[in-house]
Structure 1
Amino acid sequence: MTSRGHAGSVRFIAQRVAQIPIVVLAASALIFVFVQVLPGNPGRNALGPAATVEQVAAWNVAHGVDAGVLERYIAWLAGFVTGDWGTSIVYATPTFDLVLGRLGNSMALGLLAFALLMPVAIGIGILQALCAGSRRDRASTVILLALAAVPEFVIGVVLLIVFAVAIPVFPVQSGAAFGDGAVPELRALILPALTLAIGSLAVIARTTRSGIIDVTRSPHYRTAVVSGLGAGAIVRGHVARNALIPTVSILGVYLGSLLVGSAVVETLFGYPGLGELLVTATQRKDASVLAAGVTIAATVGVLAVLLADVAFTLIDPRVRFRGQSR
Structure 2
Amino acid sequence: MTSSAGTDPRTSSEARGSRSSTGRGRRIALLLAQRIVQIPLVLLAVSVLTFWLVQIVPGDPGRNALGPYATDAQVAAWDADNGLAGPIWARYLGWLAGFVTGHWGESFVYQTADAPLVLGSLANSAQLGLVAFVLMVPISVLLGTIQAYREGRRSDRVITIGLMAISSIPEFVVGVLLLLVFAVWIHVVPVQSGLAATGDPAQRLQALILPAVVLAVAYLAVLTRMVRTGTSGAITSQYHRTAVLKGLGPVAIVLRHVARNALVPTLSLLGLYFGALLGGSAIVETLFNYPGLGALLVVAAERKDALLLTDGVMVTGAVSLLTLLLTDVCLILMDPRISFERTDRR
Q: Which TM-score band (shorter chain)? A: over 0.9
Flag structure 1 segments of 5+ consecutive residues without an equivalent: none
* 1:266 matches 2:289: no
- 1:121 is paired with a residue whose SS is helix
Measured after TM superposition, the shift of residue 235 of structure 1 is 4.2
- 2:337 is paired with a residue whose SS is helix
What amino acid does structure 2 have at the position aligned with 1:33? W
How far, CA to CA, are the matches of 2:256 and 2:31 in structure 1? 23
CA contact (8 A) 2:235 2:241 kept: no
1:280 to 289, 295, 299: 299
* 1:206 matches 2:225: yes
Q: Structure 1 residues 223 and 162, CA, compared in 2 at 3 Å: closer, same or farther?
A: closer
How far, CA to CA, are the matches of 1:171 and 1:226 in structure 2? 50
How far, CA to CA, are the matches of 1:27 and 1:215 in structure 2? 39
How far, CA to CA, are the matches of 2:252 and 2:146 in structure 1? 19
Measured after TM superposition, the shift of residue 217 of structure 1 is 2.9
Q: Structure 1 residues 73 and 130, CA, compared in 2 at 3 Å: closer, same or farther?
A: same
* 1:23 matches 2:45: no
- 1:49 is paired with a residue whose SS is coil
Alignment of 1:211-250 (within 5 A): 211-218=230-237, 220-221=238-239, 224=242, 228=246, 230=248, 235=254, 238-250=257-269
* 1:97 matches 2:150: no
TM-score by length of 2: 0.87
CA contact (8 A) 1:9 1:323 kept: no
How far, CA to CA, are the matches of 2:261 and 2:268 in structure 1? 12
CA contact (8 A) 1:45 1:89 kept: no
Q: Structure 1 residues 261 and 303, CA, compared in 2 at 3 Å: closer, same or farther?
A: same
Equivalent residue number for residue 198 of structure 2: 179
CA contact (8 A) 1:5 1:324 kept: no
Overall identity of the aligned pairs, in %: 50
How far, CA to CA, are the matches of 1:203 and 1:36 in structure 2? 36
How far, CA to CA, are the matches of 2:81 and 2:43 in structure 1? 28
CA contact (8 A) 2:61 2:303 kept: no
CA contact (8 A) 1:126 1:209 kept: yes
* 1:13 matches 2:22: no
More deviation, 207-216/188-197? 207-216
How far, CA to CA, are the matches of 1:41 and 1:308 in structure 2? 41
How far, CA to CA, are the matches of 2:128 and 2:301 in structure 1? 22
Q: Structure 1 residues 290 and 324, CA, compared in 2 at 3 Å: closer, same or farther?
A: closer
Equivalent residue number for residue 40 of structure 1: 59
Equivalent residue number for residue 297 of structure 1: 316
Deviations 1:101-159 (A, max 9, x none): 11111110001111111111111111111111100000110001111111111111111
How far, CA to CA, are the matches of 1:157 and 1:63 in structure 2? 39
* 1:78 matches 2:97: yes
- 1:291 is paired with a residue whose SS is helix
Equivalent residue number for residue 132 of structure 1: 151
Equivalent residue number for residue 23 of structure 2: 4
Q: Structure 1 residues 49 and 144, CA, compared in 2 at 3 Å: closer, same or farther?
A: same
TM-score by length of 1: 0.92
More deviation, 263-272/22-31? 22-31
Q: Higher Cα Rg: structure 1 or 2?
A: 2
More deviation, 279-288/220-229? 220-229
How far, CA to CA, are the matches of 2:74 and 2:29 in structure 1? 56
How far, CA to CA, are the matches of 2:59 and 2:121 in structure 1? 26
Aligned length: 324
Measured after TM superposition, the shift of residue 285 of structure 1 is 1.5
Measured after TM superposition, the shift of residue 179 of structure 1 is 3.0
Q: Structure 1 residues 233 and 188, CA, compared in 2 at 3 Å: closer, same or farther?
A: closer
CA contact (8 A) 1:43 1:56 kept: yes
RMSD over aligned CA atoms reads 2.2
Flag structure 2 segments of 5+ consecutive residues without an equivalent: 1-19
How far, CA to CA, are the matches of 1:12 and 1:241 in structure 2? 22
Q: Structure 1 residues 31 and 324, CA, compared in 2 at 3 Å: closer, same or farther?
A: closer
What amino acid does structure 1 have at the position aligned with 2:318? T
Measured after TM superposition, the shift of residue 228 of structure 1 is 4.5
How far, CA to CA, are the matches of 2:243 and 2:235 in structure 1? 10
CA contact (8 A) 2:183 2:189 kept: yes
